């Protein structure tokens, strides 16, 4: 992708290439953050770094495919989401674990819900059953994740934490609430309405990955560094 010429007017190529570089930069910052964070923070920092690295690999591949065919497929995006979303919710779980014990059942429930959230949308996109049903299933599992983040053992643990940790969790949870809402909306427009993986859809997905992945990852790294220094 770095040796392919594209113009500034090619918004899709610019967004895919830009997100590949941004995600890689966020991954590098996260892994470097392992050296300036306490031992208790290294698991959540490593998880968000890995999520950013997976996203960088996806965007590099998607950009290459776009340069070759001027097309995009939702399939490769789903293959990345199966790793990225579980890594993100696992990072939130271990974020709370830095402040004390959190039942391990929360980890398994969050991870399972994140996988099923993606799986529901994929089933609809792959036409294994009705696209609307796939979107509804995905929304249901996303709402379950939000329920754990707002009313479960995780917010109970964060409630007794220091102010920087509370503030970081507030922004992460807010981004998961508002930013992740875009996924079922765009999926509905993409598959149910039948717009397809149009250039505007690709650009919107790419833009919201900044909000949904890169910013929360950097919040985790920032809180981890501040907690030590």
**pLDDT for res 125:** 72
33-39 LR contacts (CB < 8 Å, sep 24+): 33/221, 33/224, 33/225, 36/224, 36/225, 36/228, 36/229, 37/221, 37/224, 37/225, 37/227, 37/228, 38/224, 38/227, 38/228
Is the confidence at residue 190, as pLDDT, over 70?
Answer: no
16-20, 69-73, 126-130, 143-147: which range is least confident on average?
A: 69-73
Structural domains of the chain, ranges and CATH numbers in brackets: 11-228 (1.20.1070.10)
Name the band, by pLDDT with cuts 50, 70 and 90, for residue 210: confident
**Helix, strand or coil, per DSSP, at residue 185:** helix
> Among residues 107, 229, 101, 226, which one has the least CA distance to residue 164?
226
State the Cα–Cα distance between residues 161 and 212, nearest whole angstrom: 24
The pair of structure tokens assigned to 60 is 């590099």
Query: How large is the greatest C-alpha to C-alpha distance in the chain, in angstroms?
Result: 53
At 126, give phi and psi (nearest 5°).
Answer: -80, 0
- Mean pLDDT confidence for 81-96: 93
73-82, 188-197, 201-210: which range is least confident on average?
A: 188-197
**pLDDT for res 209:** 84
Name the band, by pLDDT with cuts 50, 70 and 90, for residue 197: low
> Among residues 166, 176, 178, which one has the least CA distance to residue 216?
176
pTM given for the model: 0.88
Is the confidence at residue 75, as pLDDT, over 80?
Answer: no
Angle at 111 between CA 106 and CA 115, to 5 degrees: 150
State the Cα–Cα distance between residues 198 and 149, nearest whole angstrom: 33
Is the confidence at residue 10, as pLDDT, over 70?
Answer: no
**pLDDT for res 160:** 87
**pLDDT for res 8:** 57
**pLDDT for res 171:** 94
């Amino acid at each position: 992708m770095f040796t392919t010429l594209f113009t500034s007017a090619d918004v899709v190529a610019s967004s895919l290439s830009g997100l590949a570089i941004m995600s890689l930069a966020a991954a590098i910052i996260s892994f470097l953050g392992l050296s300036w964070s306490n031992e208790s923070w290294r698991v959540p920092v490593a998880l968000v770094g890995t999520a950013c690295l997976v996203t960088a690999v996806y965007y590099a591949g998607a950009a290459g495919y776009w340069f070759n065919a001027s097309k995009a497929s939702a399939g490769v995006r789903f293959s990345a989401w199966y790793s990225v979303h579980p890594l993100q919710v696992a990072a939130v779980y271990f974020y709370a674990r830095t402040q004390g014990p959190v039942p391990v059942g929360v980890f398994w429930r969050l991870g399972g819900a994140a996988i099923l959230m993606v799986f529901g949308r994929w089933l609809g996109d792959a036409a294994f059953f009705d696209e609307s049903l796939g979107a509804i299933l995905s929304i249901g599992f996303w709402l379950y994740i939000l329920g754990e983040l707002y009313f479960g053992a995780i917010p109970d643990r964060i409630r007794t934490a220091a102010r920087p940790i509370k503030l970081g969790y507030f922004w992460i949870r807010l981004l998961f609430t508002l930013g992740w809402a875009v996924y079922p909306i765009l999926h509905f427009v993409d598959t149910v309405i039948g717009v397809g993986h149009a250039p505007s859809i690709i650009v919107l997905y790419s833009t919201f990955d900044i909000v949904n992945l890169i910013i929360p990852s950097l919040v985790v790294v920032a809180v981890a560094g501040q907690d030590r220094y």
